[in-house]
Amino acid sequence: MGAWSRRNVLAGGAIATAAALGVSACGRSGSGARAGGGGDGKPVGSPSGGPTASARPVNLIGDGSTADTGPQPNQPVPEKLQPGQRPPQFVIFSWDGAGEDSKALFSHFRGVAQEVKATMSFFLSGIYVLPEGKKHLYLPPGHKPGASDIGYLADEHVKATLTQVRGAWLEGHEIGTHFNGHFCSPATGVGNWSPAQWRSELEQAIGFVENWKTNTGFHDMDPLPFDYRKELIGGRTPCLLGQKQLLPTAAAMGWKYDASSPGGSQMWPSKKLGLWDFPLQSIPFPGHSFQVLSMDYNMLANQTGGTPKGDPAKQPYWQQQSYAAYMAGFNRAYTTNRAPFFVGNHFESWNGGIYMKSVERALREIAAKPDVRLVSFRQLVEWLEVQDPAVLAKLRTLNVGQKPTDWKQYTTPQAV
């Protein structure tokens, strides 16, 4: 149940909630990069469509669904900490599911990201680019062909999702994976999958992206401007389950990180099986003595017991409470050990959309703080990997909420 008792509910319970709404518990995803921080501060293109890549070389891959167009634009150059330098405050907003439907939340948060100069991680569910009419092509481990615990998108929303993914990548956002069918049951869910089953699921998620033109017939659309097999270096499992069995497969496929672990502490990250481990974090939950995971569903689970349609009279309080939780987690790291702060979210309308409002408010407020880097997980990996390993090891000795009396003791190589 996590490190903070039963109240630290995992995202798996979102499945029943989603069924009632007719949407996925894995939402749609947004984008971003901070001037002087996560990126060069100059995202390009329009959230309603996508930036063109006319000036970039286009080497089509396979059926032309994807293409190698060169290095991803709008990426920061990672810099090594100077001796005695206080680390910047990294903040990663990530979105599980990453699809665009009639709520248009993917495009909305791409627009927000442009305004605040942020980059984000979008964890795309592979079946969101597979038409429902072709769902038999999905062979989920331990389930019948085409089975899924989240819905397939309408064809128009598959097309919209492809447009958003294309534009997001060109703006500098990361396109990771949330796999496919989002199975969370104790008996047949992803928590029971073997490394071989994870390999099958992951290969299918990649294959749906690599072959969307064949599967959809949308041959008039431009290709996605990246080689997904090369770009994909991390993701988040459904319901935050199955990481132990996934990691051997992920490592063999060249991943650099995994963001599936629940209940992490706000401390500097370490590695598991050679991959950076970026867990959802336990953060203060205003009005309670316990902490909550840094994800919208976990707040909903504690506020309404998991129902997406709680008491309308209480929704303003819940919105303020979730915003305050995000800010409490951010401020605890920002004012003390500067551990990277991870937020997971879904594009959804639970409790009248209050979690979209609270996370956007927090995002805008955090973006205005000095020395903040709003980056993707991919960009954080690149920064970590240019640091002195001894310095990172010393930073990991800082406990939650521990403020150094002198940063020189932690970021000066000869001192550590």
Q: Work out the angle at residue 118's Cα, subtended by the Cα atoms of residues 320 and 267, and round it to the nearest 5 degrees.
A: 70
Six token digits for residue 247: 């990691």
% the chain with pLDDT above 70: 87
CA distance 134 to 251: 30
- Distance, in Å, from the CA atom of 242 to the CA atom of 264, rounded to the nearest integer, reads 16
Q: What's the Cα-to-Cα distance from 137 to each of 64, 133, 144, 212, 390, rounded to whole Å?
A: 19, 9, 11, 12, 48
Q: Is the pLDDT of residue 280 over 90?
A: yes
- Rounded to an integer, what distance in angstroms lies between the CA atom of residue 25 and that of residue 272? 27
- The pLDDT confidence band at residue 9, using thresholds 50, 70 and 90, is very low
CA 21 to chain CA centroid, Å, is 22
Which tokens sit at 338? 């500067």
Token digits for 155? Answer: 């064809």
What value does the mean pLDDT of the chain take? 88
DSSP assignment of 72-103: PSS-PPP-PPPTTPPPPEEEEEEEEE----TT
Q: Is 279's pLDDT higher than 90?
A: yes
Residue position matching structure tokens 């010393």: 394
Q: What is the pLDDT of residue 218?
A: 97
For residue 18, is pLDDT > 80?
no
The lowest-confidence range among 50-64, 74-88, 303-317 is 50-64
In this predicted structure, what is the pLDDT of residue 229? Answer: 96
Residue 221 has pLDDT above 90, yes or no: yes
Using the Cα atoms of residue 397, residue 401, residue 405 and residue 408 in order, give the sign of their dihedral: positive
For residues 214 and 208, the answer to whether their CB atoms sit within 8 Å is no
Strands 89-97 and 372-374: what pairing? parallel
Residues 247-277 have pLDDT tens digits of 999 999 999 999 999 889 999 999 999 999 9
Q: Output the DSSP codes for 257-297.
A: EE----SB-SS---EETTEEE---BEEE-TTSSSEEESBHH
Task: Give residue-wise pLDDT tens across range 351-395.
Answer: 999 999 999 999 999 999 999 999 999 999 999 999 999 999 999
Q: b/e string for 183-193 if b means 16 or more Cβ within 10 A?
A: bbeeebbbbbb
pLDDT in the model for residue 33: 30
Q: Which CATH architecture has domain 11-415?
A: Alpha-Beta Barrel (3.20)
Residue 257 CA to residue 247 CA, distance in Å, equals 9
> Per-residue pLDDT for 84 more than 80?
yes
pLDDT band at 37 (very low <50, low <70, confident <90, very high): very low
Q: Which of 22-26, 57-61, 106-110, 240-244 has the lowest mean pLDDT?
A: 22-26
Please state the domain extents for the chain: 11-415
Q: Are 268 and 337 in contact (CB under 8 A)?
A: yes
pLDDT of residue 126: 98
CA dist list (Å): 63 to 53, 153, 163, 181, 222: 19, 22, 17, 24, 12
- State how far the Cα of 381 lies from the Cα of 373, in Å rounded to an integer: 13
pLDDT at 54: 55
Beta-carbon contacts of 47 under 8 Å, excluding residues fewer than 6 positions away, are 107, 108, 110, 111, 114, 164, 167
Residue 71 in tokens: 């290095």
C-alpha distance from residue 274 to each of 77, 135, 252, 256 (Å): 23, 35, 10, 8
**Mean pLDDT on 90-100:** 97
What is the per-residue pLDDT for 63?
96
**H/E stretch holding 17:** helix 14-21
For the segment 204-224, the average pLDDT, to the nearest whole number, is 98
Task: Return the minimum-mean-pLDDT range out of 50-54, 134-138, 139-143, 179-183.
Answer: 50-54
pLDDT of residue 169: 98
Instruction: Using alpha carbons, select from 118, 218, 120 the residue that is nearest to residue 165.
Output: 120
Sign of the CA dihedral 34, 36, 38, 42? positive
Is pLDDT of 127 > 80?
Answer: yes
State the pLDDT confidence band at 41, using cuts at 50, 70 and 90. very low
In the predicted model, is pLDDT for residue 123 greater than 70? yes
Secondary structure (DSSP) of 207-240: HHHHTHHHHH--TTSPPBSS-HHHH---B--GGG
Q: Cβ neighbours of residue 222 under 8 Å, at least 6 residues apart?
A: 50, 53, 166
Residue 30 pLDDT > 70: no
Residue 416: predicted pLDDT:
67
pLDDT band of 56, cuts 50, 70, 90:
confident
CB 298 within 8 A of CB 9: yes
For residues 240 and 263, what is the distance between their CA atoms, to the nearest angstrom? 10
Tokens 């991390």: give the residue: 234
Residue with tokens 């988040």: 236
Which ranges constitute the DSSP H helices of 345-416? 350-367, 377-384, 389-395, 408-411
